[in-house]
Amino acid sequence: MSDYFSLSNCDVIGFDLDHTLCRYHLKETSRLIYESFARYLVEHKGYDKDLLNLTPASWDFCFKGLVVDLEDGNLVKLAEDGTVLRASHGTSDLSTDEIIKHYGPKKEWQHFYSLNTSFTRSAKYYFYDNYFDLPGVLLCGKVVDMLHKRGNEVNSDFWKDIVSAIDHNYNTSAFKEDAGTYFPSVKKSPGRYLQPCSDSVKTWLRSMKNAGKVLLLITSSHSDYCRLVCEYILGKDFEELFDIIITNALKPGFFSCVPHQRPFRTLVNDVEESEGLPSLDKPGWYSQGNWPHLHELLKTMTGKPEPKVAYFGDSMRSDVFPATVFGKWETVMVVEEMEGDGVPKSDAAVSNEAQVEPQEKRGKFEGQGMKSPSTGSNQWGSYFVDMRRMEGDEEEHQKLTWCCHCIHTYSTMAIPSVEHIADLPLDYKFPRFSPDKPSTTGYYPRPPDSLLKRSEHL
């Protein structure tokens, strides 16, 4: 395999939508999502109203890449070998002794092999790896705190209520029915939550299409929400940019399920036809679906027996792992945490932000001391490297996190946003991740500060 990756060598270029092509105002969106989940628990499940009371400082706890251990309510941050780097019970840190009490002298999390090899969900744990469910980390912590305050036993029962809250707010019919808190709020004020794509991104998409590339959009969002988002970020003519649009794709099952389990369906006025399609025979807009049927269509469209596909996505569980493992696609992981770890924003993104709605219109949480969920946390540290000084130890220990290890293992390269590469020529050669290269190779435009510091330390 070449040391470099270039989009010009790809026949097909695909994109996830949310937090990939579409960037969100993360502070506002996270606050809305938290409120939508918590409000459901208070109004429908009888939880304390105190769940709705947050201070800006509360958001330090909200950190991507944590796993909630549903059997005891602990949240854990894992090293690349599955050992527990940090943990909390509720929102309170566990000491080293308490971690050892829970996870043994080697601090090994018992479900690591299952999570690390399949990324599937389980009745015993839940992995937080995208911004749509991330505010649930903070909610889990506060719910466990509340159960203790009431003197209730903490077991996995609380999780059923949280799943109900997620289903209530993100149900595929919720957008149409104005149900829950999330969709009605975004419909009412899209500019408060969504960031329009810069002109350079729109030009880049058109240039790829003009160069003969097949362009895909594959999102787990339902078609009605997809249309709202795309019209806002790309314009009313967004459908012209893509050869194939797949909504309600139910990733990662899109990649891992066999065709009869998840056939493609056509849409009429955003309603899925009840009869699944036996195959995919032409470009267009579809719902659900599966990778093998898409692969057959791509072979026809490109005239190649094995078309080379590059896919951009932000979720390891839903996008990068399954597209790499099942589809054998090249994957570009969008990791906003790179910007939270010292990588500067692109010029296009900075000028684009200056042109959108003024700060005061975007919402009340943007400038009030609330940290963005994409930045490091005082409580949890860095997304990429955990740096800790053990008690009585002069040496600072620097361990790669499991999330960072997964990026190197499963993605071709990582970027903070598509804006960072939109102005580059299509034949630009990006250094790719490789097992025999340093862990800093594969990030564009440069590695996060914490990884650079670790490589200097080594």
Question: Catalytic residues, which ones?
Answer: 16, 18
Whether 276 contacts 263, CB under 8 Å: yes
* Count of C-beta atoms within a 10 Å radius of residue 281: 11
Q: At residue 150, what is the residue type?
A: R
The packing angle between helices 26-45 and 157-170, to 10°, is 120
What are the residues whose beta carbons fall under 8 Å from the beta carbon of 77, sequence distance 6 or more? 63, 65, 66, 84, 85, 86, 87, 380, 381, 386, 401
40-47 long-range Cβ contacts below 8 angstroms, 24+ apart: 40/164, 40/165, 40/168, 40/169, 40/180, 40/181, 41/139, 41/143, 41/161, 41/162, 41/165, 44/164, 44/168, 45/161, 45/164, 45/165, 47/143, 47/146, 47/161
Measure the CA dihedral 206/208/214/217, to 10°. Answer: -60
Determine the Cα–Cα distance for residues 62 and 268; give it in Å rounded to an integer.
39
Q: Is the peptide bond before 447 cis (omega within 30 degrees of 0)?
A: no
Neighbour-count burial of 85, counting CB atoms closer than 10 A to its CB (0-12 exposed, 13-18 middle, 19+ buried): buried
Sign of CA dihedral 13, 237, 202, 227: negative
Q: In which residue are the tokens 């580059």 written? A: 424
Among residues 263, 314, 322, 268, the alpha carbon closest in space to that of 289 is found at 263
